[in-house]
Amino acid sequence: QVQLQESGPGLVKPSQTLSLTCTVSGGSISSGASYWSWIRQQPGKGLEWIGYIHHSGNTYYNTSLKSLVTISMDTSKNQFSLKLTSVTAADTAVYFCARLYGDSFDFWGQGTLVTVSS
Amino acid sequence: EIVLTQSPATLSLSPGERATLSCRASQSVSISLAWYQQKPGQAPRLLIYDASNRATGIPARFSGSGSGTDFTLTISSLETEDFAVYYCQQRTNWLTFGGGTKVEIK
């Protein structure tokens, strides 16, 4: 059973960089069929896909966030990470990491709330 | 970008009733459509993938149908634990989610 766990600061100041890490257990992020993903949910809103990374290193980002987002991975630690630059209050959200297998997300982390505030 | 429109926004039903949720895509996604259930304070849970396949451990009362642009999630007889928000998602053209349908107790 694959498990994912997000970690990182719960509070980020406006204009700074949001950094989160997702630790995967019960499976390898080097598995060829999986894409490792970030999704967020603003308070009271729906789900927004941010992007995902394949173990080959290929990344795919939501075009609305592309210039601000970087997703990377550390296979030695079985982790992948999200960096979102120049954050504003609109980036306040619960951030989920998830595994994309085929065309759907089959395993999710519990989510972590990140608040952007001075 | 493919836009997914879910309807209705809210569905008020009683336990034991049948729930029918709709997801319409702005262009064809073939069968590349998934459904998720989300309860307050929890991560979404995959219910249906590839339009009609139940994910592991999902009860048989959940079923999905459709192809192209029109999809339906049906809950044949609502249990109390089924009252939640449901999202559809496609990956044919980038990746998008619908806005959600809240199934609430009447």
Q: What is the pLDDT of residues A5-32, one digit of tens each?
A: 999 999 999 999 999 999 999 999 997 7
Q: Which residue of B has its CA nearest to A106?
A: B46
Identify which of B36, B43, B49 has the shortest CB distance to residue A109.
B43
Bond into A43 cis (ω within 30) = no
Q: How far B105 CA lies from chain A's nearest CA (Å)?
A: 19
Structure tokens that stand for A12 in this block:
């980020």
The C-alpha atoms of residue B23 and residue B73 are separated, in whole angstroms, by 8
pLDDT of residue A33: 85
Q: What is the DSSP string of B22-63?
A: EEEESS--TT-EEEEEE-TTS--EEEEETTTEEPTT--TTEE
Chain A residues contacting B, CB < 8 Å? 46-49, 52, 60, 62-63, 96, 98, 100, 102-106, 108-111
Q: How far B86 CA lies from chain A's nearest CA (Å)?
A: 10
| Confidence tier at B52 by pLDDT (50, 70, 90) | very high
B42 in contact with chain A, both atoms CB, cutoff 8 A: yes
- Sign of CA pseudo-dihedral A20, B44, B64, B101: negative
Is pLDDT above 90 for B93? no
> CB–CB of B49/B34 below 8 Å?
yes
The C-alpha atoms of residue A36 and residue A52 are separated, in whole angstroms, by 5
Mean pLDDT, rounded, of chain A: 96
